[in-house]
Amino acid sequence: MEKEIDKKGIFKALIFALLLAFVGIGILGWQYRRMESEQLPALEERLEQKSAEAILERFMHARIQKNEKAAMSYLNERSVEGAAEGMFLLLNNMERYEILSGENTSDNEYRYLVKIYEEGGMNDFIEIIILVKILDQYYIDSVQIAG
């Protein structure tokens, strides 16, 4: 008779341990989903912004190096037309630049304020550069001189 009671006690302990494990897994799953829904979009946004900034950096370096072909490769059709119409100079006496700010204006679009330092330091100015994502790549959509 005692052996049956011990078996029932062991069986009850095993059932209790399994139920406790399932409750623990459920709680951890709930916390993970909550964390994922809050933090994953923020991480994706940061990655998108870094991707856009990398294109902006390459574009600006090509302009500083006066490499027109390389700089043109970062422009979309709209900005190529803007450069052809003289809305902005693709190449000038740019010595260096500084990204003052950047913001996400809509899905797959970023707006940056970039200060351009020209050689001699007399004609520094700020450009507003908008990048848009086409398929999986960011391109310069427009360049405007601020002010």
Q: What is the CATH number of the domain that holds 7?
A: 3.10.450.50
Which stretches does DSSP call E strand in the chain? 94-106, 109-118, 125-134, 137-145
| The pLDDT value given to residue 123 | 82
Q: Which residues are within 8 A (CB) of 98 and not within 5 positions of it... i.e. 6 or more apart?
A: 114, 115, 117
pLDDT digits (tens, 9 = 90+) for 100-130: 999 988 888 999 999 999 887 778 899 999 9
pLDDT of 42 higher than 80? no
pTM of the entire structure? 0.71
State the average pLDDT for the chain. 88
- The whole-number pLDDT of residue 1 equals 47
Residue 89 structural domain: 2-145
pLDDT exceeds 90 at position 141: yes
Residues contacting 125, CB < 8 A, separation 6+: 115, 116, 118, 145, 146, 147
Domain count within the chain: 1
